[in-house]
Structure 1
Amino acid sequence: MVAFGKKLKERQIQEWQGYYINYKLMKKKVKQYAQQIQVGTQDRRHVLKDFSRMLDNQIEKIVLFLLEQQGLLASRISVLGERHEALQQQPDISQIIELREAYRAVGQDLLKLLFFVEINAIGLRKILKKFDKRFGYRFTDYYIKTRANHPYSQLQQVFKHVGVGAVVGAISRNLGDLQDRQGSYLSIYDQPALPLQDPVIDSIKAAVDRLTHSTNFLNFLAQHALIMQEELPTPVEEQIDDEKYHFMSLLLNLVNTFLYMVNTYIIVPTADDYSISLGAAATVCGVVIGAMAVAQLFSSVYFSAWSNKSYFRPLVFSSIVLLVGNTLYAMAYDLDSLAVLLIGRLFCGFGSARAVNRRYISDCVPLRIRMQASAGFVSASALGMACGPALAGLLQTNFKIYKITFNADTLPGWVMAVAWLIYLIWLWISFKEPSRETESNHTPQEGTSEQLENDSLEKGLQQPLLLSSEDKQQDEDGDQECDGSEEDHEESRKPVTSIGQAYRLLTPSVKVQLLIYFMLKYAMEILLSESSVITTYYFGWSTSAVAIFLACLGLTVLPVNIVVGSYISNMFEDRQILLASEIMVCIGILLSFHIINPYTVPQYVCSGLIMFVSAEVLEGVNLSLLSRVMSSRLSRGTYNNGLLSTEAGTIARVIADGTITLAGYLGDSKLLNVTLIPSLLICVSSIIATLCTYNSLY
């Protein structure tokens, strides 16, 4: 397997090699510092200053070359503009075609320049993290803070490149004008987007968006899935073999995701009534709802491992287990058994195949449509979350067939059992198991370009200044230091094989992002799971009213992501949105407390809406940042970043549902405030942790 430095070199444009960041030299310099500190010939302060100066020189070299190339492109466009003016006086079809090709050539050269900037940005982030890992310094935090916000920041030129937009605009406008020269006179300023947009402009826009982390609705939504989107950038993007892609199989994975989320939330409006009918307290609904999450803690691991060998068999097993689980859930009423009810929900949790759904998209969907498939995964989850309570609100009937009761409590189980039976038949007929032969030839979950740059580990902020001799021998990012070799140590590139090993790879930044994910899932679960009990106690809401409220919350997911993905995320940095969203979640929690009498519907609905919407926004940027700061060793294999985030969220749900049941012993009058206190404490802790790691989220 090829070392990171070698990968960067392979992607360099030959004639520009002297202007790239000298990653190999800087890596050797880091090793040199280590030796000098070890023998006592250098101190920490000198090392920091010397390395800062070296980085400044490297960045200045990149920026000056970038500006020079932008000037050359601008000059070429200016010359072409004169020819364009002449053609407007005397149109000539052959010259128009020739001029369009000339503009396209400028566009291709601009695309090369954008790849140049992106590879340098990745190399820069990589060497900063390597330095931190080797010495235990907070050098990245110091360097970003002092350079990024300075009025003459050259670092900003690398990451937020000024001037490229003007070149892109000039090429777009002139190509658009020439494209329509034979007919109407359209302009990029007259319409939101040109029909028949030139492919080179699409490529440039994609490169600019990738470099600046600009988003649209689809890729912002796709971030929620934490599914890998692209490799280290290359001028010709490598695609997963299309022979592995089967549309119906992808659709079946998305339907599985949708049905599972419906299954999760369809019981929320009626779980308290069902518990009461079986002789338990209303707050036992927390255990009933949470039983599914408890089982999911284990199912996520074995399904993730199973998906290394097959996708079809785990999906079949999932469907059968969910069919059995929902049948047991429905039959508990006539058996008058709370134990059967809980066993049914545990079976439903053991059927959670979300790890398989994620892995199928990551492994078997071509890169060109993987973003859309990831967005489909998140959309299916959101729609399932909204449809579950809405469907429960419609199942308000009561009748018997052969001593089997069908009412508002049992119908969710029967309906989902039938749905999983139909799905199982469809799956058996239509699913196509992808070939495993080609998977050994590439690593489909190798990670995004952001993840590849983050292979290295920060060992925390402790000092010793040097790592142990074992760590010096081998970096976790796969760059082997001994003997100056650029070859990867094979073990350092393998996927992790246990939760414990995965935990040891977590840096402070990753731990904070997982804490935030835990917090938002905990707060959302408290809000949703206790909604039926709270609204019945304070407002006397019916099951239908609770179902409508929960469905409305679920329906906000897609509109909110449209606004954030298309507008807000392009106006502010992810870390700014992250912090603001955490504060809004905190405000929503504070507004939810029952302090002033009487507790009103507007207070509950508005505070719940603020909390839920803010948590949805937070989830998108949280997972986006998590994918950047997490080691690439966690982007593949059984114990991958998707599994870790799922486990963090599932543990949060289990604890939240347990909290509701325990708080129920204090009485319904104290339930709301008692369950909100942990949410508030965890939220405040996550805000403090975010502030402590804020500069490392660059």
Structure 2
Amino acid sequence: MVAFGKRLKERQVQEWQEYYINYKLMKKRVKQYAQQIELGTQDRQHVLKDFSRMLDNQIEKTVLFLLEEQGRLASRIANLGEQQDAAQQEQEHAIRNMSEQREAYRTIGQDLLKLLSFVEINAVGLRKILKKFDKRFGYRFTDYYVKTRANHPYSQLQQVFKHVGLGAVVGALSRNLHDLQDLQGRQGSYLSIYDQPTLPLQDPVIISVKAAVDRLTHSTNFLNFLGQHALIMQEELPAPTDENVDERYHFTSLVLNLVNTFLYMVNTYIIVPTADDYSMHLGAAPTVCGIVIGAMAVAQLFSSVYFSAWSNKSYFRPLVFSSIILFLGNTMYALAYDFNSIWILLIGRLCCGFGSARAVNRRYISDCVPLKIRIQASAGFVSASALGMACGPALAGLLQTNFKIYNVTFNQDTLPGWVMTIAWLIYSIWLWISFVEPSREFEEDRKTEKSQKSNAVEDSDALEKGLQQPLLITSEDKVDEDADQDNDDSEEAPEESRQPATSIGSAYRLLTPSVKVQLLIYFMLKYVMEILLAESSVITTYYFKWSTGTVAIFLAGLGLTVLPINIIVGSYVSNWFDDRQILLASEIMVLIGIVSAFHVIVPYSELQYICSGLLMFVSAEVLEGINLSLLSRVMSSRLSRGTYNGGLLSTEAGTIARVIADATITVAGYLGVGTLLNITLLPSLFICIISIVATCYTYNSLY
């Protein structure tokens, strides 16, 4: 297991070594600055100026070489294009030359892959040295450097981070290969690739180039954007694109994981349209629906931890346990009506929360699904969640009946419980018959592979401390910093500096201000969404006299917007704007939705409620995808694995938000249903404003 600097060197093209950003030299310079400041021979202003100049020189060296290589590739493509045009004039030679020309283009494609890797390695190295500087001195140097360089009209930083210009080379290569394919097939249905972008060229080298470009642009397409919601973190320096992918996984087991995700989300939201009515039938206030809905989230706070730990050893056993607990919980929820007990109802919902196996579902995709299809599996995970969220309320709207069998009541309040009881029973049988536990050998292979890849990323556990921090780090921090050094090529990072977090406390200590802000944003959006969904039945009944079926249609409609909105954002919006811009704009739209939802003076209308609710929900959905995308990039690599991983932290943040939101609804209900809407919107407004301010504060560190 090698240190980050050595890993960078191993990935470099040998003949280009002098043109890479000299990460090792800059690390040594940072160490020298620390010694000089400690001795009093240098001041802060000189250090900032000198290091900025050094970075500028390193970036300029890299960018000029990049432009030179781009020109060479462009010239080769242009020469081949001329040869291709000449060959087409002689029909008898055209077919014979096509094969040679295709191979020539593929050779250029391989060289283009090397150049894309060159850009990627330099971008990662530059990002790491900026973080290391902040970590060592406590300056917010990254914020200053990016702000002054990124938006300058002569910015060279854009060349490294945004690979400006390479897109034209990629486009020229793709178009010419496509033309060759079109000529050989004698089909000619379209003039060029630009006339039919939905049918991309399936040449292997172009697929590899596209994958490399997607990594550099952080995967701005629908599947990748949707998959980011799962927060299955990717390595900053992934293995080369031609690495053999382990195909040893069981498709049916993956499907069972996704079905578990779908059923759990159905289980969560199927009671929302009727929870207030059920509470009143059991002698409680309608706003107790907040506790009924939130009880599941309370239990999930604990289940996420033990299921995440359990998934280190097995996937099958926790899924079986989850199914049994959910079967029992839904049975209790359904029987509470005939026992006339709100406590049986709440215990049933708590049991359902204790059966939340989302941590297992996420870990199975991360550990057992080949990298080649992992993004599709991640998108499937998110799609299953979104469909479950829409199907839950819709199903509740269909269960409008009332009858008894042997003194057991079946009506709109109890049928959600009975339906889910049957669903989990069927699922348990299917799981027992079809699920295949990955072998120990397979799991060890995956862990070894992931461990080797994760060594390419350094720790970032004390970054961006802010201007209020001392000039030099404390002795305790220095030990940790020194533990991560790689000052010679053979040095290895110590084992403890690469280990995943072993507790919630140690995971929290790895969080930088940027990560904390992203978790705050995730908390905010989950809080806003839970307030909107959980109190919808009470609010619409009070103001508009909506029936259970109408509420169910409204909630199902909100859920059905998830996939279309993600298609739009993932396929189009994220290609036009930076993630940071979309993040801030989405927060502002959530704020506008909250403000427009308040009931002030004029009579409250259905149009106002629907439009404001739709704006809040859609903006929060957009925000979630962008937020988790940025979170995966700024989070320490040590949080990409182990029990206390980034996925668990985000799940806990979202679950805590739901618990607090549901508690807010119940507490506010004691002041009267007439004031419920405004009182529950006030915390949402406050948290949203705080998150916007925090985003502006860390905006440049999200580069």
1:651-687 superposed Cα distances (whole Å, 9 cap, x missing partner)? 0000000000000000010000000000000000000
**How far apart, in 2, do the equivalents of 1:528 and 1:492 lie?**
43
1:393 to 394, 397, 401: 397
1:584-615 superposed Cα distances (whole Å, 9 cap, x missing partner)? 00000001000033100000000000000000
Query: Offset at 1:235?
Result: 3.1
Q: Identity of counterpart residues, as a percentage?
A: 79
Query: Offset at 1:489?
Result: 1.3
1:192 to 194, 197, 200: 197
**How far apart, in 1, do the equivalents of 2:266 and 2:617 lie?**
18
Does the Cα contact within 8 Å between 2:226 and 2:566 map onto a contact in 1? yes
Does the Cα contact within 8 Å between 1:117 and 1:158 map onto a contact in 2? yes
Query: Offset at 1:230?
Result: 4.9
TM-score relative to the length of structure 1 = 0.97
Query: Offset at 1:481?
Result: 6.1
Query: Offset at 1:479?
Result: 2.3
Comparing 492-501 with 363-372, which one deviates more in the overlay?
492-501
Does the Cα contact within 8 Å between 1:129 and 1:457 map onto a contact in 2? no
The residue type paired with residue 305 of structure 2 is V
- Partner residue of 2:222? 217
Does the Cα contact within 8 Å between 1:325 and 1:345 map onto a contact in 2? yes
**How far apart, in 1, do the equivalents of 2:486 and 2:97 lie?**
56
- Partner residue of 1:47? 47
1:70-96 superposed Cα distances (whole Å, 9 cap, x missing partner)? 111111112212211210111322222
**How far apart, in 2, do the equivalents of 1:47 and 1:431 lie?**
59
The verdict on how the C-alpha distance between 1:447 and 1:138 changes in structure 2, with shifts beyond 3 A counting, is farther
Q: Which runs of structure 2 are paired with 1:226-245 in the superposition (5 Å)?
A: 226-230=231-235, 232-238=237-243, 241-243=246-248, 245=249
Comparing 634-643 with 74-83, which one deviates more in the overlay?
74-83
Q: Which runs of 5+ in 1 are unaligned?
A: none
Secondary structure of the 1:475 match is helix
1:353 to 2:362 alignment: no
1:119 to 97, 121, 125: 121
Query: Offset at 1:483?
Result: 8.8
**How far apart, in 2, do the equivalents of 1:451 and 1:604 lie?**
49
Query: Offset at 1:272?
Result: 0.3
- Partner residue of 2:35? 35
Does the Cα contact within 8 Å between 1:133 and 1:457 map onto a contact in 2? yes
Q: Which runs of structure 2 are paired with 1:426-437 in the superposition (5 Å)?
A: 426-437=430-441
1:406 to 410, 416, 422: 410
Q: Which runs of structure 2 are paired with 1:175-574 in the superposition (5 Å)?
A: 175-182=177-184, 183-185=186-188, 186=190, 187-194=192-199, 197-230=202-235, 232-238=237-243, 241-243=246-248, 245-441=249-445, 442-443=447-448, 452=457, 455=460, 457-458=462-463, 460-461=465-466, 462-475=468-481, 479-480=484-485, 486-574=491-579
**How far apart, in 1, do the equivalents of 2:693 and 2:199 lie?**
46
**How far apart, in 2, do the equivalents of 1:436 and 1:341 lie?**
41
**How far apart, in 2, do the equivalents of 1:433 and 1:630 lie?**
30
The verdict on how the C-alpha distance between 1:105 and 1:246 changes in structure 2, with shifts beyond 3 A counting, is same
The verdict on how the C-alpha distance between 1:239 and 1:646 changes in structure 2, with shifts beyond 3 A counting, is farther
**How far apart, in 1, do the equivalents of 2:506 and 2:120 lie?**
31
Does the Cα contact within 8 Å between 2:459 and 2:638 map onto a contact in 1? no
The verdict on how the C-alpha distance between 1:179 and 1:453 changes in structure 2, with shifts beyond 3 A counting, is farther
The residue type paired with residue 48 of structure 2 is L
The verdict on how the C-alpha distance between 1:451 and 1:409 changes in structure 2, with shifts beyond 3 A counting, is farther
Does the Cα contact within 8 Å between 1:516 and 1:686 map onto a contact in 2? yes
**How far apart, in 1, do the equivalents of 2:451 and 2:598 lie?**
45
Does the Cα contact within 8 Å between 1:33 and 1:47 map onto a contact in 2? yes
1:86-141 superposed Cα distances (whole Å, 9 cap, x missing partner)? 10111322222111111111111111100100010000000000000000000000
1:176-224 superposed Cα distances (whole Å, 9 cap, x missing partner)? 1112223133521332244653121121122112212241111000010
Does the Cα contact within 8 Å between 1:239 and 1:367 map onto a contact in 2? no
Query: Offset at 1:18?
Result: 1.1
1:621 to 618, 621, 626: 626
Cα RMSD, aligned residues only: 1.8
Secondary structure of the 1:189 match is helix
Does the Cα contact within 8 Å between 2:6 and 2:489 map onto a contact in 1? no
The verdict on how the C-alpha distance between 1:29 and 1:619 changes in structure 2, with shifts beyond 3 A counting, is same
The verdict on how the C-alpha distance between 1:448 and 1:597 changes in structure 2, with shifts beyond 3 A counting, is farther
Query: Offset at 1:63?
Result: 0.2
1:12 to 2:15 alignment: no
- Partner residue of 1:152? 154
Does the Cα contact within 8 Å between 2:28 and 2:487 map onto a contact in 1? no
1:476-508 superposed Cα distances (whole Å, 9 cap, x missing partner)? 9x6236899731111111111111111111100
The residue type paired with residue 478 of structure 2 is K
Secondary structure of the 2:501 match is coil
The verdict on how the C-alpha distance between 1:274 and 1:197 changes in structure 2, with shifts beyond 3 A counting, is same
- Partner residue of 1:56? 56
Query: Offset at 1:531?
Result: 0.2
1:611 to 2:616 alignment: yes
**How far apart, in 2, do the equivalents of 1:236 and 1:408 lie?**
53
Query: Offset at 1:166?
Result: 1.8
Does the Cα contact within 8 Å between 2:530 and 2:662 map onto a contact in 1? yes
Query: Offset at 1:168?
Result: 1.5
**How far apart, in 2, do the equivalents of 1:332 and 1:271 lie?**
12
Does the Cα contact within 8 Å between 2:239 and 2:453 map onto a contact in 1? no
- Partner residue of 1:101? 103
Query: Offset at 1:238?
Result: 3.8
Query: Offset at 1:305?
Result: 0.3
The verdict on how the C-alpha distance between 1:38 and 1:229 changes in structure 2, with shifts beyond 3 A counting, is closer
Secondary structure of the 1:399 match is strand
Secondary structure of the 2:409 match is strand
The verdict on how the C-alpha distance between 1:318 and 1:686 changes in structure 2, with shifts beyond 3 A counting, is same
The residue type paired with residue 273 of structure 2 is P
Query: Offset at 1:436?
Result: 2.3
1:505-548 superposed Cα distances (whole Å, 9 cap, x missing partner)? 11000000000000000000000000000000000000000000
**How far apart, in 2, do the equivalents of 1:671 and 1:99 lie?**
71
The residue type paired with residue 370 of structure 1 is R
Query: Offset at 1:236?
Result: 3.5
TM-score relative to the length of structure 2 = 0.96
How many correspondences in the alignment?
A: 696
1:67 to 2:46 alignment: no
Secondary structure of the 2:481 match is coil
**How far apart, in 2, do the equivalents of 1:193 and 1:300 lie?**
40
- Partner residue of 1:164? 166
Comparing 336-345 with 482-491, which one deviates more in the overlay?
482-491
Does the Cα contact within 8 Å between 1:519 and 1:683 map onto a contact in 2? yes
Query: Offset at 1:229?
Result: 4.0
Q: Which runs of 5+ in 2 are unaligned?
A: none
1:135 to 134, 137, 143: 137
Query: Offset at 1:444?
Result: 5.8
**How far apart, in 2, do the equivalents of 1:620 and 1:310 lie?**
29
- Partner residue of 1:639? 644
Query: Offset at 1:465?
Result: 1.3
Secondary structure of the 2:193 match is coil
- Partner residue of 2:81? 81
The residue type paired with residue 262 of structure 1 is V
1:286-311 superposed Cα distances (whole Å, 9 cap, x missing partner)? 00000000000000000000000000
Secondary structure of the 1:396 match is coil
Does the Cα contact within 8 Å between 2:131 and 2:463 map onto a contact in 1? yes
1:303-337 superposed Cα distances (whole Å, 9 cap, x missing partner)? 00000000000000000000000000000000000
Secondary structure of the 2:183 match is coil
